Structure 1
Amino acid sequence: MRRDGRPAAPQAWSQAPTPTYRPGPPRQQPVRPRQQPAPTRVPQPQQRDWAPTQQPQRFTDGAAVPPRGTAPSRGPQGTAPSRGPQGTAPSRGPQGTAPPPAPPRRRPPAPPQPAPRRPLGARRILRRIGALLAVLVVLTGVGLFYLDGKLSRVDALVKYDGRVADTPGTNWLLVGSDSRVGLTPEQEQELATGGDVGAERTDTVLLVHIPPGGGSTTMVSLPRDSYVDVPGYGRDKLNASFALGGPQLLVQTVEGATGVHIDHYAEIGFGGFASIVDAVDGVDVCVPYPIDDPLAGLTLEAGCQELNGAQALGFVRTRATPLADLDRMNNQRLFLSALLSKATSPWTFLNPFRLWSLASGAAASLEVDDGDHLWDLARLAWAMRGETVTTTVPVGGFEDVDGVGNVLLWDRERAVPFFDAIAEGEPIPAELVAPAP
């Protein structure tokens, strides 16, 4: 516009004044509020909140008919049909409707897992232990009957006129013979038996008394050279009765000399004795003095040591000691106590291999009376495993007898009350018991 108020003539674009750029204040960026994460929407299964309605009625007055597939009629007051949960579209009617939603996919079932093993309770453990013990008892019983049939038997306890009546307690006569039956020449050489020496004789005669009602078992050595009356043969050595009439005459001679009724009889030979010792893997014995006996094949140092079968046999047979036969009887009682202690120990009973070897070895090596069984031997071993009184018959001295040789005499004044106490089932008086070696 000009100064006079009239409008100015239009100017060309090129003549327009160029606007001058004036920087303004710096523009601040708006601070955008920190957006919170949108809540997780859990899809919900669709539910129908209305049943499909009938088809809208067609007009018959020429009006246009609503095409098929159009939206269903609105509800009352012109409102739109209600939607499903979470704003989903409503399900359509049967004609021209959309397919129903697919069912939710299910995870495949997990493979079955083994049920966790519950810890055994005390009652279940006791039941299992009881069942195991029952099986062991049955097997032991079967084994005992089987091995009992393997025992060799002899009619040792025969009836005869004037036999000693039954006495209190249980009395065993244990005999160790010098029999070589069943031994090969190599075994005889290994055991140093000396070969065949004619009629069998007894190297060991032991009287074992188990008192009635409990108490200490008594083991008495009867020296084989004891000068006694042999029924039908006069006076002779004790072991001569075995050579003349076998076990029957030996039992009769012992009963007549002691006045004690014998209830059980057991005999073992050289080979059987060694096999029983080997069956328990040797026996520990404390030897009181060094022994060197070439005839018995024995060389031992003084002190405690383990003896195998051959060494044990030489130990109970040797007479190469200061007191000869007296030391021999002491060694026999000492070794038998050690053998029975190991045979009845828990280490033997809990080891089925050792127990079976011991039982089978005893069954094959022992000869018993017709009325004796393997369980009788087990009761004997159990009675001797505890405190046992070991002694010998009171000795009166030695004498040379024509036709008989050197014999051992009993001290009759002390021997009579000694055996009377055993016959009555009472303890032997302490003053009559021989001191331990």
Structure 2
Amino acid sequence: MPGGGGAMRRRARRHGLVLVRALWIVMCAALLAVSGVAWSTVSELEAGVERSYAIAPDAPKSQNAVNILIMGLTTRLDLQGQPLPDDLLQRMRAGESDRGGYNANTLILLHIPRDGSAAVAMSVPRDNLVTLSGVPSGPQTGKIKEAYGRAKELEERRLRSSGEDDARVLERAGREAGRRAQVLTVSAFLNVPIDHLVEISLVGFFHIATKLGGVDVCLNRATRDDMSGADFQAGPQQLNAPQALSFVRQRHGLANGDLDRTRRAQAFLAYLVSRLKSADVVAVRALIDVAKEDVVLSDGLDLVGLAEHLPSEVRFHTLPVEGGAVVDGQSVNRVDERRVQAAVSDLTAPAAVQPQPPPGIPCVD
């Protein structure tokens, strides 16, 4: 339909956000159809993915960009709070189902400018000592990763005291409280609005790697760690799903511990983005399948549209820390909020003033 896209966009502007969203989905469907993915698959995703309403409709919105908080949870449970099958846990090499709790060990703010310039994925180290917002008992101090679990536990305790005993209701309400607290905490720490959230647990990482047929990575040096099961040579290599999960979990034996693990999560995401941007049908299908099983999206976020409309370049950065400290017997990262704010401002500046990253899959420790 020559010229039809322009006419549709003009009508969308006149009639507001409802038609803008409809146009977005139609464009995604057309692009996916070119790649061999049917419209029925897109419709299935729209109907099948679990949605969160933790971000209030009247929450502050980003201007000239979309900010998405990607949260990777440590839990070994499924979306309903049920244990994973034993054979799956064995293949994941991640221990028993009662390990991990509900810490948000991976926190990445994906900043996507609306002008098509480079997107930025900013990793927030999990052990940063911050004020935890949105926790039912009031603001607390703790590691930034803990907002989710603390809020979840307190909300479930509140519901039980009022007579609620349905495990599924408690799990759903507790997780929504956790998401709300984690979003509010990261938003306050970075001093930026968060428009959407994506939540994925360890099994989601594993399933993505499985459906992709492996993950390409590059290591600066050989490394081995019995805790995570990591055993990798130096240089570029392809990892199978269990190896890929060990790759993103490893922190022992790395010079910078958790900070190096943060860069590995970025490398995993960089590989996924490279597959999506190359119109890789397998990668698109993998994302759709995993989204329906292991991922929670905020209401209104179109995952397929996001994948198809990412800018051609995504840059990865880690927010600075000042050093380590011990608080209440726990190791934490000390942060200078002025440096954090300066880093956020620099990383979301126009692409012209940002250094160009090296091409290809990044090599990490």
TM-superposed CA distance for 1:356, in Å, is 3.3
2:270 match: 337
Cα distance change of structure 1 residues 359 and 135 upon mapping to structure 2, 3 Å threshold? closer
Are 1:414 and 2:350 an aligned pair?
no
Please say if residues 172 and 264 of structure 1, whose CA atoms lie closer than 8 Å, have aligned partners that are also in contact.
Answer: yes
Aligned-residue identity in percent: 29
Check conservation: 2:118, 2:315, Cα contact below 8 A: yes
TM-score scaled by length of structure 2: 0.72
User: Is the Cα–Cα contact under 8 Å of residues 200 and 295 in structure 2 kept in the other structure?
Assistant: yes
* Partner amino acid, structure 2, of 1:226: N
Partner residue in 2 for 1:239: 145
1:181: Cα distance to partner?
1.9
Q: Which amino acid aligns with 2:272?
A: L
The two structures, once aligned, show a CA RMSD in angstroms of 2.9
SS class of match (2:315): strand
Q: 2: CA distance between counterparts of 1:283 and 1:134?
A: 24
Q: Which structure dedicates a bigger proportion of its chain to helix?
A: 2
User: In structure 1, how many angstroms separate the alpha carbons of the residues matched to 2:307 and 2:335?
Assistant: 32
**Does residue 278 of structure 2 align to residue 372 of structure 1?**
no
The answer to whether the 8 Å contact 2:224/2:232 transfers is yes
Partner of 1:262: 194
Question: What does 1:377-416 align with in structure 2 at a 5 Å threshold?
Answer: 377-379=306-308, 382-383=310-311, 386-402=312-328, 405-416=330-341
Task: State the alpha-carbon separation in 2 of the partners of residues 407 and 360 from structure 1.
Answer: 36
**Greater mean deviation of Cα atoms: 324-333 or 291-300:** 291-300
Mapped to 2, the partners of 1:299 and 1:293 lie a distance apart of: 6
Question: Comparing both chains, which one has the higher relative contact order based on Cα–Cα distances under 8 Å and sequence gaps of 6 or more?
Answer: 2
Match of 1:194, SS?
coil
Displacement after TM superposition at 1:298 (Å): 1.9
* Conserved 8 A contact 2:218-2:363: no
Q: Aligned pairs, how many?
A: 292
Instruction: Find the aligned partners of 1:223 and 1:135 in 2 and give their Cα distance.
Output: 35
**Residue in structure 1 matching 2:44, options 128, 146, 164:** 146
SS of residue paired to 1:395: coil
Structure 2 residue 127 is matched with structure 1 residue 190:
no
Q: Partners of 1:421 and 1:258 in 2: how far apart?
A: 12
Q: Aligned partners of 1:428 and 1:296: how far apart in 2?
A: 40
Matched residue SS, 2:213 = coil
Structure with max Cα Rg: 1
Match among 95, 98, 121 for residue 219 of structure 1: 121
Deviation at 1:285, TM superposition (A): 0.9
CA deviation vs aligned residue, 1:41-60 (integer Å, no higher than 9, x gap): xxxxxxxxxxxxxxxxxxxx
Aligned-residue offset at 1:139: 6.6
- Which residue in the other structure is 1:298 paired with? 230
Taking structure 1 as reference, are residues 292 and 428 closer, same or farther at Cα in structure 2, changes over 3 Å only? farther
- Contact kept, 8 Å, 1:179 with 1:269, in 2: the verdict is yes
Q: Which runs of 5+ in 2 are unaligned?
A: 1-29, 79-83, 152-177
The 8 Å contact of residues 391 and 436 in structure 1, kept in 2 or not, is answered as no
- 1:345 deviates by 2.0
